[in-house]
Structure 1
Amino acid sequence: MKRPVLLMIACMLLAFGVTQINAESARDQHVYHFGFKKSKDGQLPSINEEGFKPILEKHGAIFLGDTSQKEIYLTFDNGYENGYTAKILDTLRDKQVPSIFFVTGHYVKSQPELVKRMVSEGHLIGNHSWSHPDVTQISNTQLKDELLKVKNAVAEITSQKEMAFLRAPRGIFNEVMLESSRTEGYTNVFWSVAYKDWDINVQKGSEYAYTQVMNQLHPGAVILLHSVSKDNAEAMGQIIDGARKQGFVFKSLTELQKKVY
C-alpha cells in the first residue's frame, strides 16, 4: 500500500478516535438529580452535601434568593393540567401575589387560555422544555429546539415575547445543559422549598400541604409547587396568609435576577 494512502487511513482513524473520545466524554458527563437538605426551624437549606453547588454557581443557576431578606419566590411546574390552576390563579389574583409558571409544550397547546391568563394577570411564564425529556441525554441542538419551541409558542398567544427562566424536567441536569441553556439566555431555577406534591393519587389534604410548606420557610425561599395538586390549590390562600403573618414578602423572580446579576 502506498505511503499517502496509509497516511490518509491513519488520519481517518485518528479523527475517528478523537470523535469517539469526545462522544465518550459527553456520555460520561456526571448527571445530577437536584436535591437539598431541607430547612428546619427557620435555618437555611443546604446543597453543600450534594456535590453540585460549584457548577450551579459557575453557571448562575438559582437555588435560593437573598437570605438576608424575608422574601419568597413562588414557582409552579405545569407539565399538564389537572383542573386546579384556575383556582390557584384566583387566589394569587385576590391576594396580589406574583409567581412564575414553568410550562411544557403540552401545557401550552392544551391550555392556551390558562397560559394567556397567567401573563395577563402579571405572572411570568418559564420554560420547562417542549417534551419534558431528560435534558442531559439530548444534544445541545435538541435542547435549543426544545426551549425555542416553548418560547415561540408562548409568544404567539401572549404578550410575553422573551423567556428568561428555565427549570430542568424532574430536576435532572449536568454542566453541559447548564452551560448550553445559559448561552441561550436562560437562568436555571431550582428550589429550596418543596415536598412530594406531584402524585395526584396521594393527596393528603390542604392542612398537610400548608404544614409542609410552612415548616420549610426561610429567608430567600424559592418554593416549588405543582399545580396538579388539589392540596396545593386548597392550601394556597392559607400558605400566603401564614407566610405574610411571619413577615415574608412575595417577590417576582425578575427582582431576584437583578440581585443575582
Structure 2
Amino acid sequence: MAALAKLLRIATVCALLSAFGTTAVFASDDRPYHFGFKKSRNGSPATIDEEGFKPVIDQYGAIFRKDDSRKVLYLTFDNGYENGYTARILDVLKEKRVPAVFFVTGHYIESQPELLKRMADEGHLIGNHSWSHPDMTQISDERITKELSQVKERVEVVTGQKEMLYLRPPRGIFSERTLAVSRNLGYTNVFWSVAYVDWDVKKQNGWKHAYDKVTSQLHPGAVLLLHAISSDNAGAMGAIIDYARQQGYEFKRLDETG
C-alpha cells in the first residue's frame, strides 16, 4: 500500500507539472546568473570565458560584445528613472553625431515622454529594460511577456518606434529560461563589455573619474554600459567620444552592420 501511495503522489505531481507547465513550476534551466566579465586591459577584448554562463549566452544569441576585429564601439544607456542629465547627454551625442541605445523602464516612459521622443527623433534606438524592473528569473513566462510587451507598446505610442529588438535584463540577472522566453518574443539580450560603478548617485567622483574608467576599458567591438543618472557620465561624455575617435574607434548603433 505504501508503494501504491507513493506512485499516486508521483503521478499527481506529474499531472500538475503537465497542467501548469514551466510558468508555474520553474525547471532546472532557471538557475539565475548575474552577468559579470573580465575587463579589457590595454585594448584586449573583454571576456566571459571564466564566468560559467558563456554556453548559455552563446546558445541564445545574447550580446556582450561584438566583432573584436574592428574598432567599433556600441554605446548603451540604462534609463530606469530621470536624474536631470539625459538631456545633456543627448546634446553631446547630437553634437558629436554618435548613436546610442537607451534601455528604458515603464517608469521612465510614463514620466519622461518628451525625452523619449527626443531619443527617437534624434536617431537613437529605444530598448526594453522591462516595465517594473523585476528579477526576471523570479517571475513566470506570462509575467515576462507582459513586462516586455507593455514597454514595447507604450514606446510605440509615445515615439512611433514600431520595432523593439533589444532587451537588457534588469540588474543583469538572467537564466536559460528568461533568454529563451525573450528570444521567442523577438529580443536579443544585450549585456556589456565596458562598465563601472556609475549608478550610485551618492558616489559621484567628477567627470575625470568617469573618463578614466571608461577609456581604460575600450576595446574593439565593445558594448558600453552607462547610466544616464550619473553626473560624472554627463560631464565626461564629450571627452570619452573624442578620445575614442583619436584612438581610431567609430561609434555605431547595435543594429548597424558593415
Aligned partner of 1:118 in structure 2 is 119
SS of 1:136's partner is helix
Aligned partner of 1:100 in structure 2 is 101
Counting only pairs closer than 5 Å after superposition, residues 74-223 of structure 1 correspond to structure 2 as: 74-223=75-224
Q: C-alpha separation between the residues in 2 aligned to 1:230 and 1:181? A: 32
Aligned partner of 1:3 in structure 2 is none
- Amino acid in the other structure paired with 2:109: V
> 5+ residue gaps in structure 2?
none
TM-score (norm 2): 0.92
CA positional deviation for 1:46:
1.0
Q: Does residue 2 of structure 2 align to residue 15 of structure 1?
A: no
SS of 1:239's partner is helix
- Amino acid in the other structure paired with 1:234: G
SS of 1:125's partner is strand
- Amino acid in the other structure paired with 1:174: S
Aligned partner of 1:60 in structure 2 is 61
- Amino acid in the other structure paired with 1:191: W
Aligned partner of 1:71 in structure 2 is 72
Aligned partner of 1:26 in structure 2 is 27
CA positional deviation for 1:26:
2.4
- Amino acid in the other structure paired with 1:146: E
- Amino acid in the other structure paired with 1:186: Y
TM-score (norm 1): 0.91
Q: C-alpha separation between the residues in 1 aligned to 2:253 and 2:167? A: 15
SS of 1:144's partner is helix
SS of 1:107's partner is helix
CA positional deviation for 1:29:
2.6
Q: C-alpha separation between the residues in 1 aligned to 2:109 and 2:158? A: 9
Q: C-alpha separation between the residues in 1 aligned to 2:151 and 2:229? A: 20
> 5+ residue gaps in structure 1?
1-6
SS of 2:68's partner is coil
SS of 2:229's partner is coil
CA positional deviation for 1:104:
0.1
Write out per-residue CA displacement over residues 56-110 of structure 1, whole angstroms, 9 at most, x where no aligned residue: 1100000101100000000000000000000000000000000000000000000
CA positional deviation for 1:15:
3.4
CA positional deviation for 1:24:
5.6
Write out per-residue CA displacement over residues 111-167 of structure 1, whole angstroms, 9 at most, x where no aligned residue: 000000000000000000000000000011100000000000000011211100000
RMSD over aligned Cα atoms? 2.0
Q: C-alpha separation between the residues in 2 aligned to 1:85 and 1:25? A: 38
8 Å CA contact 2:29, 2:175 repeated in 1: no
SS of 1:91's partner is helix
Aligned partner of 1:229 in structure 2 is 230
- The change in CA–CA distance for 1:12 and 1:149 in structure 2 (over 3 A counts) is same
The range that moved more, 11-20 or 114-123, is 11-20
Write out per-residue CA displacement over residues 206-258 of structure 1, whole angstroms, 9 at most, x where no aligned residue: 00100000000000000000000000000000000000000000001002xx5
